[in-house]
Chains A and B, each alone.
Chain A
Amino acid sequence: MSEVLLLLVGLFLPLFPLSMVFNEVFQRIRVASLRVVLLLIWPQIGVVIAHTAGVEIPSWLIFWALATAALYGFRALALREVGLWTSFIATSAWTILWLTVDSRADLAQLAVYALALSAPLALLALLSGELEKRFGAAYTGLYGGLALSLPRLSGVLVVVILAIVATPLFPGFVVMMAAIIESSSQSFIAAVTVAMIWLLWSWAGARLLQGIIVGPAQEEATADISVNSTWVYAAVLILLVVSGIYSIGSL
């Protein structure tokens, strides 16, 4: 029974090769709002199963999770399609949750951790939809220079990427710190691996940003996102920062 439960957790807090299922599903869905729902719900299912089942997680599985996170973080470096990038980083991020999932952990806290990692990715899925609407594809290196031609969208994109790569004050930072603290008590190699995965995210995030916002302005005029949409994005991001600041105290 516990093996079946672990497999289920491995599907929703995706461990390689089960992670391919999530990536397949995510890439088949082309509607941004559905992608948002998927990003928000998928890891929550994993967290709930892991917690309610109360299964003891063997240490080799933790290393497998870290290997999966490293694999997807590394593979994200070479990606140019924003949708694929989102699903790979989501896979990499959610597997980090294996470090914090144990029978002692509080379910609410685990759910918040999962949400902390998913929420900025959900925002990126929406922004990716905006890019597809305007250019037919959300692709780095294809158009570039959006900082000048679409300043509002670019501004939001920059902050969303910062949130995804767990920049301090965003809740992702708290999750990464918690994972490093947890792993450093057991194995220094595990802590270093988590830290290296964090580094890979930063690298992948910078490559994504540079491929979209940097460069000379577009010759053809394209409509930016509306002021109201910008305020909505800003409100969500401010909420994330406030929750991040609040939860730093829990470390």
Chain B
Amino acid sequence: MEQLLIILVPALPLLSALVNHLASGQLGQRVAKLSIALAVLTFVIAAVLLAQAMAGNDSNQVALGSTWGILLADPLSTLMGLLIAGISLIVRIYSVRYMIEERGYGRFFMLLDLMTATLLIMVAAGDLLTLIIAWHLVGVLLYFLLGFDSRSKTAYRYAFWTLITYRIGDIALVLAAALLFHAFGTWTLTDIFAQITENPGAHRYFGFALEELVGILLAIAAFARSAQFFLHTWLPYSMDGPTPVSALMHAGIVNAGGFLINRFATVFIHTDSVMHLLFAVGLITAIIGSVLMLTQNDIKKALGYSTMGQMGFMIMECGVGAFSLAIYHLIAHGLFKGTLFLGAGTVINEARKSDGVPKDKLYTFVVEHRIAKRQQPWLLMAGITLVVPIIILFFAHWLVAQDFFQKQGAIVLLFFGWVTGAQLLFTTYRMGAQNIWRLVGVIILSFAIIVLGYALISHAFDLFLYPDPQFSSQIHSAAGIDVFWFDVLVVLTTAVIVGGWLLKYYSEQNRLPGQDKIGQLWTSFYALVSREFYMIDIYARLTRMLLKAAARLNILLRWR
């Protein structure tokens, strides 16, 4: 019975796509009803499978072919399956009215159904071939969904950027799969993982340990799919597609990088430096994505860069060994970003009539950057800023795992939590409020709830996805670095951040020498950010150069 349910999850949207394609002429706008009915059924079945996995049932699988077509029902695939089924159901309900006046209404639903089926196959794939096929097809289908309006050359231009970036990721995945197949003689993931666990480091290719080389290739595949720095330019520009597609893309497609890393956790725990690469690239992406988001005046583009920042954070979490936290992050992000995209149209429409922002003290502080004249004693505020978040964070982590301080990844995430909480309190100090202590109290309470919730839920995810404590600890070990250098890095970074805060507190009350120069530097940096670090220009120029070179070669060789 469970095997039938595993097959039905991707089969139902496939069936819907087929019927939509063959009978869209007869069904007319009723194609949407059919699509939604089958999507509801898919969601229910996905929920049943997840419930079974949560009840502690053993992982199950179905093999549709001899060497490929294996579909898994394990904790990771059932969790991701429910997320995809849920988000695609919401997107389809939203599209019923949103797309009603568009040409190719039936085609749109057919493409959505195909995309849903492909994503569901991708997360359930139990062999490399099925994974590659689904991974590749997601890019192709996204190209046609983003370019749904065939009249728009701009939509196709940016859909093409997406396609070509995804193809770079596909290639990395294909190469990783070829190496794994060579080493182990099978496409089946469970067999490959069993052999790696039994005898890690047994194979070497071109001077590298197999796990290291495969890990790097998988990381590249994840970077392309999850818009990491250097492979991110497609994401904020792919907004010319229909809004429901943007919602699906940001909520259920772009986060596939986190899924891929989790799926290949067995490979990553046997690597030396790949986890550090994940951390570095994720951190850079998180910072750059967030900075670029803050400078956008287009709400959808800002959301695009916000996704880039969040994806950076997700990859960074993988880099510190918090694999299950990355899954929680991608689910939480998928839900809130999907909501934001689906609500963006209404917000824009309302904003055209009135911006709706009350001209209160929050407005003058955030928008007009007016700092309150009367401020609290800075030493007291600095003390609260530094100490309170750290107490909350330590308490929350201690509650779920007493030995958390032995995991470097947990310390790094604690550090980020501390910086975020402290920055919030730091900002409050400069804001005018009738009762500043009430505001600070509310912030601390909210922070405590968020941190506790985050710690408890991520701990629950850890127990569900990685119930074997030894495996979980191996993930953290693979992410670790030498204790001495780790401590040096933590102390140094803390000193820089705390020093910066103290300097800022001090400078707001006492003018520092050379502040004009800092202002100029800040303006130059803003100019650089407003041009998105010239990445788009560089890629466009490179593309033009390549096309010109190809044309010259053709002339040189007389078109033969």
Interface, chain A (partner B; CB < 8 A): 19-20, 23-24, 27, 71, 74-79, 84, 145, 147-148, 158, 162, 167-169, 173, 177, 180-181, 184-185, 188, 191-192, 195-196, 198-199, 202-203, 206-207, 210, 213-217, 248-249, 251
Query: Which of A74, A158, A213 is B553 in contact with, Cβ under 8 Å?
Result: A74
Known contacts A199-B167, A249-B68; A181/B150 CB under 8 A: no
Of A27, A199, A249, the residue contacting B168 (CB under 8 A) is A199
Among residues of B, the one whose C-beta sits closest to the C-beta of A146 is: B150
Partner of A214, one of B153, B171, B178: B153
A75 to B206, CA, bound (A): 31
Q: Which of A148, A168, A180, A214 is close to B133, meaning CB atoms less than 8 Å apart?
A: A168
Give chain B residues whose Cβ lies under 8 Å from the Cβ of A173: 133
Q: Check if B560 sits within 8 Å of A20, measured CB to CB.
A: yes
Q: A195-B171, A195-B174 are in contact. Are A74 and B560 (CB under 8 A)?
A: no
Partner of B171, one of A147, A199, A206: A199
Binds A, one of B29-37, B156-164, B378-386: B156-164
In the complex, the 3 A-B pairs of residues with the closest C-beta atoms, listed nearest first: A147-B150, A78-B550, A78-B551
| Cα–Cα distance between A169 and B65 once the two chains are bound (Å) | 14
- Known interface pairs A168-B132, A181-B182, A215-B151. Does A75 touch B557 (Cβ–Cβ under 8 Å)? yes
- Asked if A145 and B129 sit within 8 Å, CB to CB, the answer is no
Report Cα–Cα, A226/B324, bound state, in Å: 54
- When the two chains form their complex, are residues A188 and B206 in contact, meaning their CB atoms are under 8 A apart? yes
Residues of A within 8 A of B171 (CB): 192, 195-196, 198-199
- For the A-B complex with A78-B553, A199-B164 known, give 5 more contacts whose Cβ atoms are closer than 8 Å: A27-B559, A145-B150, A158-B144, A184-B182, A191-B178
Contact yes or no, B129 A24, CB < 8 A: no
* Neighbouring B residues of A78 by C-beta, 8 Å: 547-548, 550-551, 553-554
Q: Is the CB of B182 within 8 A of A185?
A: yes
Taking the closest CB of chain A, its distance from the CB of B126, in whole angstroms, is 15
* B residues apposed to A, CB below 8 Å: 65-68, 103, 129, 132-133, 136-137, 140, 143-144, 147, 150-153, 156-157, 160, 163-164, 167-168, 171, 174-175, 178-179, 181-182, 187, 205-206, 546-551, 553-554, 557, 559-560
- B129 CB contacts on chain A under 8 angstroms: 177, 248, 251
Which A residues are CB-close (under 8 A) to B187? 251
Residue of A whose beta carbon sits closest to that of B206:
A188
A24 to B560, CA, bound (A): 6
Determine the residue in chain B with the shortest Cβ distance to A245: B65
Q: Which residues of B contact A248 (CB under 8 A)?
A: 65, 67-68, 129, 133
Please tell me if the beta carbons of B550 and A75 are within 8 angstroms of each other in the complex: yes
Chain A residues closer than 8 Å to B547, beta-carbon distance: 77-78
Q: With A167-B136, A167-B140 in contact, is A202–B150 under 8 Å at CB? A: no
Query: Which residues of chain B are within 8 angstroms of A213 by Cβ–Cβ distance?
Result: 150
Residues of chain A contacted by B559 (CB below 8 angstroms): 23, 27, 84
Known contacts being A78-B547, A84-B559, A167-B137, is A202 close to B554, with CB within 8 Å?
no
Contact B557 A20 (CB under 8 A): yes
Q: How far is the CB of B150 from chain A (nearest CB, A)?
A: 4
CB distance from A37 to the nearest CB of B (A): 20
Nearest residue (CB) in A for B172 is A195
Q: Is B175 a contact partner of A191 (Cβ separation < 8 A)? A: yes
Q: Report the minimum CB–CB distance from A19 to chain B (whole Å).
A: 8
**What B residues does A180 contact at CB under 8 A?**
174-175, 178
Question: Residue of A at shortest CB range from B553?
Answer: A75
Is A202 in contact with B167, judged by CB distance below 8 angstroms?
A: yes
CA–CA, A248 and B206, complex, Å: 28
Q: Do residues B150 and A249 form an inter-chain contact, with CB atoms below 8 A?
A: no
Tell me the bound Cα distance from A162 to B174 in angstroms: 18
In the complex, are the beta carbons of B156 and A210 less than 8 A apart?
A: yes
